[in-house]
């Protein structure tokens, strides 16, 4: 009898302990965050990816009442950071990672160093920026003056452009590759150190046209340094209202962009996940934040959850199709 009572008391203690722990966990979730949050960026301080992370971190700090710091873990086009996320990060809500596409999305298809992870291995929260591709020419270019005359010239001449990376991991190189397939033309791509080099090469005549992203090119276009003649976006950019989209010019909805969003390691408490997503949604879509992004010529394309996954899948399939690799698509 004493043994039965002892077991019963022990069982009751275990149940009460479970209830107490459960309540404590719920309380912790309700009070999240209680510590500093790290917002990880896989690119160097001072670059475009880092800049928007710091703008957001300041906003999130005010929103949460807890410090949100930007931590830069650079290397391998972001993959040093993402590998750490997959292998070491805890799904506790205190580590938020910037997701850069196409580098992240197409890492598994990198012919030089294929990664074993895909976007399906991370808990995607939301996309923030779709920095659409654009093509520019010199203002004093005599061979062509707009998109249609560039294309006509291109059909009879191999042209030269440049990008900070070449191949499937580069949105710049990929949009040029897609154009050569679409028009049946040829182009040579010179690998450079980035947007500043690309601009220098265009202006000194080393390249025939420049390909890049709206955030990198809009200011120079507005200041008259060169002329953007086409953007690869669903609609015209408000800062470049006179520049047509590729769809307007051809009827073909060819989208090219560099996307920046956010994800967390899989396995986070659903309540914590929802708190983080709500914070991102409200901070990103805040009127002052939208004005700030317009000020730095960075196009906002906010989508979340399933829509974000669909965006990733679309960009993945488009890039693979451009390089005739659709049959390699991983399930």
Q: Where do the structural domains in the chain lie, given as residue ranges? A: 34-120+258-325, 132-250
Q: Is 19 exposed, middle or buried (0-12, 13-18, 19+ CB in 10 A)?
A: exposed
What is the residue-averaged pLDDT of the chain?
91
**Residue 29, both tokens:** 């979730």
Res 294 pLDDT > 60 = yes
Residue 31, CB-side half-sphere exposure with 13 Å CA sphere: 8
Residue 46 banded pLDDT, cuts 50, 70, 90: confident
- The CATH fold of domain 34-120+258-325: D-Maltodextrin-Binding Protein; domain 2 (3.40.190)
What pLDDT, on the 0 to 100 scale, is given for residue 331? 66
Block residue for tokens 């107490």: 20
Same fold yes or no, 34-120+258-325 and 132-250: yes
Q: pLDDT tens for residues 244-258?
A: 999 999 999 999 999
Res 13 pLDDT > 80 = no
What pLDDT, on the 0 to 100 scale, is given for residue 2? 41
Q: What are residue 264's DSSP bridge partners?
A: 123
- Rounded Cα distance between 148 and 53, Å, is 38
What pLDDT, on the 0 to 100 scale, is given for residue 5? 42
Residue 64 banded pLDDT, cuts 50, 70, 90: very high
pTM: 0.86
Q: Is the dihedral of CA 128, 165, 214, 319 positive or negative?
A: negative
- Rounded Cα distance between 56 and 302, Å, is 14
Residue 21 banded pLDDT, cuts 50, 70, 90: very low
**DSSP secondary structure letter of residue 285:** T
Residue 240 banded pLDDT, cuts 50, 70, 90: very high
Block residue for tokens 């560039």: 150
- Rounded Cα distance between 243 and 218, Å, is 11
- Rounded Cα distance between 198 and 203, Å, is 9
Question: Pick from 269, 271, 261: which is nearest to 315 by CA?
Answer: 261
A 10 A CB-CB count for 167 gives: 17
If one compares 9 and 85, the residue with the highest pLDDT of the two is: 85
Q: 132-250 belongs to which homologous superfamily?
A: Periplasmic binding protein-like II (3.40.190.10)
């Amino acid at each position: 009898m004493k043994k039965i009572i002892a077991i019963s008391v022990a069982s009751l203690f275990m149940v009460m302990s479970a209830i107490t722990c459960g309540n404590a966990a719920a309380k912790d979730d309700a009070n999240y965050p209680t510590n500093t949050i790290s917002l990880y960026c896989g690119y160097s301080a001072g670059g475009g990816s880092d800049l928007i992370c710091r703008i957001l971190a300041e906003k999130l700090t005010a929103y949460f009442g807890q410090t949100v710091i930007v931590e830069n873990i650079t290397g391998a086009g972001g993959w040093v950071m993402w590998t750490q996320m997959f292998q070491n990060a805890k799904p506790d809500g205190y580590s938020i990672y910037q997701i850069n596409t196409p580098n992240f999305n197409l890492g598994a298809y990198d012919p030089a160093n294929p990664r074993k992870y895909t976007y399906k291995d991370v808990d995607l929260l939301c996309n923030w920026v779709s920095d659409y591709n654009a093509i520019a020419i010199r203002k004093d270019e005599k061979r062509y003056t707009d998109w249609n005359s560039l294309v006509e010239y291109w059909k009879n001449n191999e042209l030269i452009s440049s990008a900070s990376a070449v191949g499937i991991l580069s949105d710049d190189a990929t949009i040029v590759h897609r154009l050569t397939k679409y028009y049946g033309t040829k182009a040579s791509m010179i690998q450079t150190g980035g947007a500043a080099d690309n601009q220098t090469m265009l202006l000194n005549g080393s390249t025939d046209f420049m390909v890049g992203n709206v955030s990198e090119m809009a200011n120079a276009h507005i200041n008259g340094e060169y002329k953007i003649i086409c953007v690869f976006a669903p609609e015209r950019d408000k800062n470049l209202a006179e520049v047509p989209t590729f769809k307007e010019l051809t009827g073909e909805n060819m989208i090219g962009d560099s996307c920046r969003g956010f994800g967390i390691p899989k396995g986070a408490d659903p309540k914590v996940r929802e708190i983080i997503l709500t914070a991102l949604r409200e901070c990103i879509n805040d009127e002052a934040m939208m004005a700030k992004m317009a000020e730095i010529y960075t196009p906002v394309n906010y989508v979340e959850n399933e829509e974000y996954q669909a965006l990733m899948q679309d960009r993945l399939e488009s890039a693979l199709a451009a390089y005739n690799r659709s049959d390699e698509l991983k399930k």
